[in-house]
């Protein structure tokens, strides 16, 4: 059944006419309570105190930070052997370290796989051909594709499985299909000389994952033997440097404006360097928000993460739905003082409709004091 949200724009007390701009001086902290991930009804409160100003927290539903540089078990030759960091029924998030050439193929029958290459470079060989990949690349691998990597240098990858479904591009609405990134920048593999050079009659194994269990299929030849193909289903590569973010000098756009891929029950967004808002009354850091229908995950790739303190590349933060999150106190104050004119951060955000659960391996690299990092003076 189609549903219609009750809409009744109402004003109460002292408020700003425009969300994320021109706050009342006596209440500089704005908090957005919204539904459906910034697309549903929303209310903007103006508070006298920071909504993240808690002093104690009891219970498991809390903001978490994981240093994935130190996670155990990520150094494997197969991605099906590495630990899961966060998961629900629609999405599984892993990190993978790979140094040596994969002597086997892998195949995920559980869903599409999205790789984000945090460090390193490699030759990727798959059913569709050969593709060179390097740091900053997203690599979209359709379900049940055979593939392997030959690293040029040690690799550190973020893997986001779209369990039981396929990735799609977001609807870009009134800005048109060429905004943010033109689909023409998407690069498929090629049946080139490197691909042809790996044809062989040598015995080859495929590690097939289905239902979380691995099957090993042995062929007396290399299954990557296609001489050509035609169609509109393929492995695709997109580098964050080809993303041209939506911007507004007068209004801080919500994270959904930076959506890169749409999964089943979640979205993947990319934050890339951009100018900071210049209008005197515009908010210049992410706004405090509840986003009560989505869990929020951020993987930090490079640069200065302007809304966070004590975060380094290779770390991940996890903010479950149900409480307000937003910039750390120093970042909020720096935004008020307009100390920066440009962001140089690169980060991958995953917003999931259903609750995520973290693994024991993630708990082992958690900063347990992160929940208190919004205390004044921290």
Would residue 77 count as lying in a domain? no
Of 193, 213, 240, at which residue does a domain stop? 240
Measure CA 290 to chain center: 18
Would residue 176 count as lying in a domain? no
Its pTM stands at 0.92
Note the pLDDT of residue 307: 60
Note the pLDDT of residue 106: 98
Which segments of 207-302 does DSSP mark as H helices, in order? none
Residues 265 and 234 in one domain: no
Residues 251 and 347 in one domain: yes
Residues 287 and 227 in one domain: no
Note the pLDDT of residue 49: 85
Residues 236 and 95 in one domain: yes
Which residues lie closer than 8 Å to 124 by C-beta, 6 or more apart?
Answer: 130, 131, 132, 133, 139, 147, 148, 149, 150, 189, 235
Domain that holds residue 315: 29-65+244-372
SS3 of 323, please?
Answer: coil
CB 60 within 8 A of CB 371: no
The residue length of the chain stands at 378
Residues 249 and 214 in one domain: no
Which residues lie closer than 8 Å to 161 by C-beta, 6 or more apart?
Answer: 91, 92, 93, 94, 108, 110, 111, 112, 113, 114
CA distance 276 to 307: 12
Structure token pair of residue 315: 């770390």
Measure CA 336 to chain center: 27
Of 221, 240, 259, at which residue does a domain stop? 240
Residues 115 and 196 in one domain: yes
Q: At 214, which helix (H) or strand (E)?
A: strand 213-219
Check whether 319 is labelled as a binding-site residue.
no
Domain count, the chain: 2
Would residue 280 count as lying in a domain? yes
Structure token pair of residue 199: 């044809």
Note the pLDDT of residue 32: 80
Q: Which residues are catalytic?
A: 252
Would residue 80 count as lying in a domain? no
**C-alpha torsion sign, points 133, 136, 142, 148:** positive
Check whether 295 is labelled as a binding-site residue.
yes
Segment 92-114, tens digit of pLDDT: 999 999 999 999 999 999 999 99
Residues 256 and 221 in one domain: no
Would residue 1 count as lying in a domain? no
Give all strands (DSSP E) within 1-146, no chain letters.
29-34, 42-47, 64-67, 84-87, 91-98, 105-108, 111-126, 129-134, 137-141
Note the pLDDT of residue 312: 92
Note the pLDDT of residue 378: 42
Residues 191 and 149 in one domain: yes
Would residue 327 count as lying in a domain? yes
Check whether 325 is labelled as a binding-site residue.
yes
Note the pLDDT of residue 371: 93
List the pLDDT tens digit at each of the 378 positions of the chain: 667 777 777 887 777 878 777 787 777 888 887 777 777 778 888 888 888 888 999 999 999 999 999 999 999 999 999 999 999 999 999 999 999 999 999 999 999 999 999 999 999 999 999 999 999 999 999 999 999 999 999 999 999 999 999 999 999 989 999 999 999 999 999 999 999 999 999 999 999 999 999 999 999 999 999 999 999 999 999 999 999 999 889 888 888 889 999 999 999 999 999 998 888 888 878 888 887 889 999 999 999 876 666 789 999 999 999 888 888 878 777 777 777 888 889 999 999 999 999 999 999 999 999 999 988 754
Note the pLDDT of residue 333: 77
- Would you call 20 exposed, middle or buried from its count of C-beta atoms within 10 A (0-12, 13-18, 19+)? buried
Residues 270 and 318 in one domain: yes
CATH of the domain at 119: 2.60.120.10
Edge-first strand order for the sheet with 346-352 is 64-67, 315-319, 295-302, 346-352, 266-271, 259-262
Note the pLDDT of residue 20: 79
Residues 258 and 233 in one domain: no
Note the pLDDT of residue 115: 98
Structure token pair of residue 49: 């105190």
Count of other CB atoms within 10 angstroms of residue 150: 15
Would residue 177 count as lying in a domain? no
Residues 146 and 59 in one domain: no
Residues 261 and 321 in one domain: yes
Would residue 2 count as lying in a domain? no
Residue for token pair 């929303």? 42
């Amino acid at each position: 059944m189609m549903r219609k949200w009750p809409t009744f724009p109402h004003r109460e007390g002292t408020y700003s006419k425009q969300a994320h701009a021109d706050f009342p001086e006596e209440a500089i902290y704005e908090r957005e309570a919204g539904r459906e991930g910034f697309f549903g009804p929303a209310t903007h409160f103006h508070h006298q105190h920071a909504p993240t100003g808690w002093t104690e927290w009891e219970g498991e539903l809390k903001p978490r930070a994981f240093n994935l540089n130190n996670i155990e078990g990520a150094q494997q030759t197969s991605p099906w052997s590495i630990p899961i960091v966060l998961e629900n029924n629609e999405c599984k998030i892993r990190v993978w370290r790979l140094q040596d050439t994969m002597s086997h193929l892998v195949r995920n029958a559980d869903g599409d796989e999205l790789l984000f290459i945090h460090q390193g470079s490699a030759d990727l060989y798959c059913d569709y051909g050969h593709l060179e990949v390097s740091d900053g690349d997203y690599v979209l691998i359709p379900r049940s594709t055979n593939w392997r990597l030959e690293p040029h240098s040690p690799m550190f990858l973020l893997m986001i499985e779209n369990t039981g479904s396929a990735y799609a591009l977001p609807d870009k609405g009134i800005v048109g299909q060429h905004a943010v990134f033109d689909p023409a920048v998407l690069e498929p593999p090629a049946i080139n000389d490197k691909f042809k050079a790996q044809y062989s009659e040598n015995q080859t194994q495929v590690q097939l994952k289905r239902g979380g269990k691995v099957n090993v299929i042995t062929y007396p030849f290399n299954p990557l033997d296609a001489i050509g193909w035609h169609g509109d289903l393929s492995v695709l590569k997109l580098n964050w440097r080809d993303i041209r973010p939506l911007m507004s000098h007068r209004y801080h756009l919500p994270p959904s404006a930076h959506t890169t891929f749409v999964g089943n029950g979640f979205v993947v967004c990319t934050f890339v360097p951009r100018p900071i808002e210049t209008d005197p009354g515009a908010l210049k850091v992410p706004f405090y928000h509840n986003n009560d229908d989505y869990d929020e995950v951020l993987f930090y790739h490079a640069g200065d993460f302007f809304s966070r303190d004590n975060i380094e590349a290779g770390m991940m933060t996890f903010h479950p739905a149900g409480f307000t999150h937003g910039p750390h106190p120093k970042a909020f104050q720096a935004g008020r003082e307009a100390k920066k004119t440009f962001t140089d951060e690169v980060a991958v955000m995953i917003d999931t409709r259903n609750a995520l659960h973290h693994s024991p391996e993630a708990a082992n690299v958690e900063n347990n004091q992160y929940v208190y990092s919004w205390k004044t003076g921290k």
